[in-house]
Protein backbone atom coordinates (compact mmCIF):
# COMPACT_ATOMS: atom_id res chain seq x y z
CA UNK A 1 0.00 0.00 0.00
CA UNK A 2 1.41 3.44 -0.89
CA UNK A 3 2.47 5.90 1.76
CA UNK A 4 1.50 9.55 1.75
CA UNK A 5 3.63 12.08 3.56
CA UNK A 6 2.30 15.58 4.15
CA UNK A 7 4.88 18.24 4.90
CA UNK A 8 4.19 21.54 6.61
CA UNK A 9 0.77 20.45 7.81
CA UNK A 10 -0.67 23.32 9.85
CA UNK A 11 -0.98 22.55 13.55
CA UNK A 12 -4.68 23.39 13.69
CA UNK A 13 -5.47 20.77 11.02
CA UNK A 14 -3.41 18.09 12.75
CA UNK A 15 -5.05 18.86 16.09
CA UNK A 16 -8.55 18.62 14.58
CA UNK A 17 -7.78 15.28 12.96
CA UNK A 18 -6.23 14.00 16.19
CA UNK A 19 -9.28 15.11 18.18
CA UNK A 20 -11.66 13.47 15.71
CA UNK A 21 -9.65 10.24 15.85
CA UNK A 22 -9.61 10.27 19.65
CA UNK A 23 -13.38 10.83 19.78
CA UNK A 24 -13.87 7.74 17.60
CA UNK A 25 -11.20 5.68 19.38
CA UNK A 26 -9.39 5.51 16.07
CA UNK A 27 -5.89 6.26 14.87
CA UNK A 28 -4.88 9.49 13.19
CA UNK A 29 -3.98 7.47 10.09
CA UNK A 30 -7.42 5.83 9.87
CA UNK A 31 -9.18 9.12 10.49
CA UNK A 32 -7.11 10.85 7.79
CA UNK A 33 -7.92 8.10 5.29
CA UNK A 34 -11.61 8.37 6.20
CA UNK A 35 -11.57 12.14 5.70
CA UNK A 36 -9.79 11.87 2.36
CA UNK A 37 -12.24 9.23 1.10
CA UNK A 38 -15.22 11.29 2.25
CA UNK A 39 -13.85 14.43 0.59
CA UNK A 40 -13.27 12.61 -2.70
CA UNK A 41 -16.78 11.17 -2.66
CA UNK A 42 -18.32 14.59 -2.02
CA UNK A 43 -16.26 16.08 -4.84
CA UNK A 44 -17.37 13.32 -7.21
CA UNK A 45 -21.04 13.77 -6.31
CA UNK A 46 -20.80 17.55 -6.76
CA UNK A 47 -19.16 17.07 -10.17
CA UNK A 48 -21.92 14.68 -11.25
CA UNK A 49 -24.59 17.11 -10.04
CA UNK A 50 -22.98 19.93 -12.01
CA UNK A 51 -22.99 17.86 -15.20
CA UNK A 52 -26.62 16.88 -14.66
CA UNK A 53 -27.59 20.52 -14.15
CA UNK A 54 -25.69 21.65 -17.24
CA UNK A 55 -27.28 18.91 -19.33
CA UNK A 56 -30.73 19.82 -18.02
CA UNK A 57 -30.12 23.47 -18.91
CA UNK A 58 -28.93 22.52 -22.39
CA UNK A 59 -31.98 20.30 -22.90
CA UNK A 60 -34.26 23.23 -22.03
CA UNK A 61 -32.37 25.77 -24.14
CA UNK A 62 -34.16 27.11 -27.21
CA UNK A 63 -33.12 25.34 -30.39
CA UNK A 64 -33.03 28.56 -32.36
CA UNK A 65 -30.84 31.28 -30.88
CA UNK A 66 -32.96 33.86 -32.72
CA UNK A 67 -35.64 33.25 -30.09
CA UNK A 68 -33.40 34.80 -27.45
CA UNK A 69 -33.73 38.48 -26.66
CA UNK A 70 -30.52 40.47 -26.80
CA UNK A 71 -29.68 41.60 -23.25
CA UNK A 72 -28.45 44.93 -24.59
CA UNK A 73 -31.95 45.68 -25.87
CA UNK A 74 -33.45 44.93 -22.45
CA UNK A 75 -30.90 47.17 -20.72
CA UNK A 76 -31.55 49.99 -23.19
CA UNK A 77 -35.32 49.69 -22.68
CA UNK A 78 -34.85 49.81 -18.92
CA UNK A 79 -32.62 52.89 -19.13
CA UNK A 80 -35.06 54.68 -21.43
CA UNK A 81 -37.92 54.36 -18.94
**Residue 33 to residue 29: CA distance in whole angstroms:** 6
Q: Phi/psi at 69 (nearest 5 deg)?
A: -90, 135
Query: What is residue 69's predicted lDDT score, i.e. its pLDDT?
Result: 79
Q: Taking 70 as the threshold, does the pLDDT of residue 65 lie above it?
A: no
**Residue 23 to residue 34: CA distance in whole angstroms:** 14
**Residue 68 to residue 39: CA distance in whole angstroms:** 40
21 close to 27: Cβ distance less than 8 angstroms: yes
For the chain, what are the domain ranges? 11-80
**Residue 37 to residue 39: CA distance in whole angstroms:** 5
User: pLDDT tens digit string along 19-38?
Assistant: 999 999 999 999 999 999 99
Rounded to an integer, the average pLDDT of 60-77 is 79
Amino acid sequence: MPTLQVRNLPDHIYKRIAAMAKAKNSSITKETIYLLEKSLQVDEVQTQQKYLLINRMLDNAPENSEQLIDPAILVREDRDR
